[in-house]
Amino acid sequence: MDYVLSLIRVLDHLQWKSCYYIGHSLGGQLGLYLCSLWPQRVKKLVLLDTIGPSYTRTDSYLSHNRLLLDNILRTEEQFSSKNRPVYTYKEALDRIMTSRFGHLTEEAAKIMMKRSLTKSSDNGFIFTPDQRLKVPLTTLLNEEQQLQVCATFVDTKYKYSFMDKQF
């Protein structure tokens, strides 16, 4: 939700009363929340390759969030130390190509490596982007909350289905 507040701050800084919002992946999920919380600030919402807000059962809410936060703490510890993982060029290439949900060509992976790898002092390679950004931290909602978010941004002239509910 911090990111959604950042979006509001950007709109306020630019002195835009509203915007056309196009969001991809996490940006799309943020757009859902922005549109749900401040519908007057979003004229149109376009989502690309976006999943809806994450859902969890009420009885597993705390344990699931604890798991997410523990993962973040572990990742911060691993990458804040001087012992960051070092890879050969081939290992780094394999990691980039296999750690994605979709297919990534070797050519595309090599392009990504140009901006995300640096040589380490021991002739290997380390990833330079902030690896903590790869740890998912999403607000989890129960079914009732999920439906409330979806219902607030659906234009009634379009049919939309979520969790077997029609909008």
30-61 confidence digits (pLDDT tens): 898 898 889 899 999 888 887 666 667 778 87
Residue 153, amino acid: F
Strand 19-24, strand 42-48: pairing = parallel
What pairs with residue 162 in β-bridges? 165
Q: pLDDT tens digits, residue range 80-107?
A: 666 778 899 999 999 888 877 677 788 9
Residues 115-138: what's their mean pLDDT? 74
Domain ranges of the chain: 2-55+141-166, 61-134
Distance CA 69, CA 67 (A): 6
Q: Compute how many other C-beta atoms are within 10 angstroms of the C-beta atom of residue 113.
A: 17
Return the CA Rg of the chain: 20
Cα 163–chain centre separation: 21
Strands 117-119, 125-127: pairing kind: antiparallel
| Whole-prediction pTM | 0.49
pLDDT at 19: 96
What's the average model confidence in pLDDT over 120-127? Answer: 84
Confidence category of residue 131, pLDDT binned at 50, 70, 90: low
Q: Which helix (H) or strand (E) holds 20?
A: strand 19-24
